[in-house]
Chains A and B, each alone.
Chain A
């Protein structure tokens, strides 16, 4: 990868020698801001953003920095904790954009925060790389066009219907094979808040598109004792129970489900096989896990394994959703590359460059690109834990469906 950059850097140098002076940038370096949940309910996802970004920033700076127009620029990282509180997130965003003059913002992984952030980054022409969410619905061809309010915003994950689709298909395939019976009834557990609502909408439709009858149970987000709700689920005679919220809550609810013997098989969203192995969890019923974009406990490619080795060696915690860091790692490198290819830090030119690029990172076997709505597409890794074991996984990489299922708004 670095060799390829050197090539491009020389080219950029030559080009910029012919072109005019580069866009005036902030003195010192290129400033990258991160706003994420380092404390609070969504820490398991949020914490990974800062860690992934900081690894990428370190690698780039150690390699000399970003080479633009004959000069090299170090990347400055400014990290802010939003405490899983939208007001804190907005305040942090304002501070980074208005006071610290960042060039790009990475975060958040908490839904409905992202939309609020775009109102700050957009007018200031700060690039924003953020997770999928209700944002997806407002990323339209018009809104991301030059001059549009979301021109500088990029969604780091595929549209939810794609993730739901590939996950549902992968899960049902693996569980069906292990259980050995056709699967008909599914119960989905999700927290009763904006995140839960957003996620479950698509996943329920995806399951139905795969022939399942779905009962949805929404619980108060602060629930710790799930036994009453799980008993209720049991009375619905489910073949499979799907926990679709954040990994921490899932790991509280799942053991309770097994104790009550609720279903024949389970799906746990947001729990990496690595955590399953670390905690030496064991289940008599088959369990499936999924990771975005790929599992650190069962990396499907040597590049992914190498990344995770470096990520944890730098001191990051082995968390349930540590794999999310990989996305942000790739997008920081992508941004750096885009600046080098465009020969400038001018946001309009850089955005135009990103829109043209196909980027080969670690996240996907095939190069990633942003579609006309500034969204990417990549596969989801789904793993089955062999019953009775802590570290025997059978994993598959599921490609996403091209079209949303009936009734899905493709957000």
Chain B
């Protein structure tokens, strides 16, 4: 029994099938990644895990408990928190208010205040801009805010959807080091969805390759990195290339 177990998940939007027979797992404190090109169904899978999309078939278990088809707030309370694609921070709320909202599902008032100070310590830019509106931050700063906001929920598993999207190489490096330290600083496992293979390969311990909604490979990162499948996926004709930022899923 892992922290997260997904078994034979099918998802669809209306009649259009997206994911087929997806199974994977993430252990306590592990950093796992799902790689794949545009339109592979990675984001849809994450949305199914955190409760926004209801799977047509299959099961989602968190520490053995069946959480399939429960709404997002139940998943958040169980410790599964999503940092959505494109950041989706609340532009009209202040940085502080964004952080506070991340802790919505929690009840321990004083600990929430302490955690805000903690976030400001680990992400100094949030301290500087604490009373500014979220919309005034740069892309990279917003990504930090989005991750910090997710962490405010004290997640056991953080779902990161394409955190490198639209960021400069410098910012991507920063994000990378934040993700690498998540287990150390916050005790959270990570399920990272990325098109930027070099970022994913640099931080993850285990990886899954997704193509056309299915898992086509699952292995430890080192194995995956050198596999033929990876090269085909990323260097094949017409597909997005290793490390290139691409349009959202």
Complex A–B touching at CB under 8 A = no
